[in-house]
Chains A and B, each alone.
Chain A
Amino acid sequence: DAGVTQSPTHLIKTRGQQVTLRCSPKSGHDTVSWYQQALGQGPQFIFQYYEEEERQRGNFPDRFSGHQFPNYSSELNVNALLLGDSALYLCASSSPTESGGKDTEAFFGQGTRLTVV
């Protein structure tokens, strides 16, 4: 099992451009969450996808959008890039149950480091 895989690992974009990041969840997981981790900070929750729908969203502008495919993989799209969007973008997959805790452990990918210049 390859675990959670993200692509690309590194990306450089120019301010104003658009970017798409990709995530393949761990086998058997149907839920994908995206986080933004700025340098020196903890990850910030962007949104979560389940059954191809955005289920929950953090405090991020509409420039951040996503998609989940029938095979549970997911994309994060960011439009009109700003310098402040430079960060490590982490994807986490899980298969939630009502019980929470260990049964709903989230597995994180290695992240995509986005640099906006």
Chain B
Amino acid sequence: GEDVEQSLFLSVREGDSSVINCTYTDSSSTYLYWYKQEPGAGLQLLTYIFSNMDMKQDQRLTVLLNKKDKHLSLRIADTQTGDSAIYFCAESWNNYGQNFVFGPGTRLSVLP
């Protein structure tokens, strides 16, 4: 079955880059997503990548996909205290959309 794994915690200094990693098991995944969840809030879509892409850049965010190793990463450049949140990796595999399998989330703490 589908499974998505992430490291649970990451701590960085303000201004440094953050790299959050994710591995998934379903090779038929069509899209891979990164969501952000702040305390007491729902999920906010940060970015996504189609499975036939290797990299996608969106302002401070860079997504790298290694389909052979089923490894996805999210790099946040110039990390700010406002980036402190839980980041979820998710995969989706059907054209009906949005039937996600989420990872457990990585709690990012940004130290001043």
Please list the residues of chain A having a beta carbon within 8 angstroms of any beta carbon in chain B.
4, 31, 33, 35, 40-45, 48, 50, 55-56, 58, 90, 92, 94, 96-98, 100-102, 104-111
Contact = CB atoms under 8 A, between A and B. Distances in A.
B42 interface: yes
A56 B104 contact: no
Interface in B71-112: 88, 90, 92, 94-105
Contacts of A107: 45
B98 A101 contact: no
A43 B100 contact: yes
A90 B98 contact: no
B55 interface: no
Interface of B: 4, 30-31, 35, 40-45, 48, 50, 88, 90, 92, 94-105
B96 A106 contact: no
B45 A56 contact: no
Contacts of B103: 42
A33 B95 contact: no
A101 B43 contact: no
A101 B4 contact: no
